[in-house]
Structure 1
């Protein structure tokens, strides 16, 4: 299995948008049975558009023989970010200081079923981080996903839970996790 990783910027989103939406629908809706307005493809597409409109947004899509196998994307948190406003318990003020260069937010990482369990998600994640210059990376994970297995994967990748967030009225309460970009 040889996976090719393609780095994407917002200028290329129109070309790859449908692939991202198709993978989202296949994995989130069909494989995991996640339903409700928060997981609808149209709602995901709205979030994708908002994220991609932010400075520094990038994505990586993995391909095997020109077939998309998964993706991840995110952007740096700017000085005006609302990312930390949904924390259920406040974090120290200095921890939350953002300037567009300190913290990278991993918005989504999704891998199709035939490629799961083979390290592809880790490879896509690391390919994405390989071009980033920020100090740390944060993500949100539903602690119930996979009965906690998804959060355990992120912990194995070096992420640590720093609190909880509920960023949207109809979203689950997520574990907020953080790690250094370079896991030296």
Structure 2
């Protein structure tokens, strides 16, 4: 018998916080393997960030569910606020036309993940497209580790381009690529 289809749904902002436990488990599952090897401390950091970020202007959560109701993955982001530290700690200089952040210009895609049992079924593509379709911002940005080759290839196929590298401010954080995608033709 074929497995039931995966459904993708937007979660209203006022309901997103109630899913934190489930999101944390999906986060743990997706990022426990190479190149991340995230543990409990990373899940805790994610949950602390999410508790604040899901209340931000333009926040959007899209969830993938298997036929059993189990969370197969999710995508999350928000409209980047003016003055956000996103463009700090760069390894090189960028043109101010990229780093200037007028209000409402950029959507920060901060999480996009699919748990192992549901990979290879275009679930990430569907989450990505649902999350970005209809956004009012001019562009979107995200960070991804250079060693995350599957994610790097997926983002390139979806039209993302690398514009810089940075170190996150957390001690011991790895170097990450900053990618941009135009949301308007």
**TM-score, normalization: structure 1?**
0.88
Q: Which residue is equivalent to 1:123?
A: 126
How far apart in 1 are the matches of 2:99 and 2:164?
12
Deviation at residue 18 of structure 1 after TM alignment:
1.1
The number of equivalent residue pairs is: 180
Query: Equivalent of 1:100, from 98, 103, 109?
Result: 103
Deviations 1:43-84 (A, max 9, x none): 121122232232211110011222211001011112221111
Q: Show structure 1 runs of 5+ residues with no match.
A: none
**TM-score, normalization: structure 2?**
0.87
Q: Which residue is equivalent to 2:165?
A: 164
Ranges of 4+ aligned residues in structure 1 off by more than 6 Å:
none
SS at match of 2:88: helix
Q: Residue 32 of structure 2 contacts residue 39 of structure 2 at CA under 8 Å; is this kept in 1?
A: no
Q: Which residue is equivalent to 1:133?
A: 136
Q: Which residue is equivalent to 2:114?
A: 111
Q: Which residue is equivalent to 1:75?
A: 78
Deviation at residue 142 of structure 1 after TM alignment:
0.4
SS at match of 1:13: helix
Which sits farther off after the overlay, 12-21 or 46-55? 46-55
Root mean square deviation, CA, Å: 2.0
How far apart in 1 are the matches of 2:102 and 2:28?
34
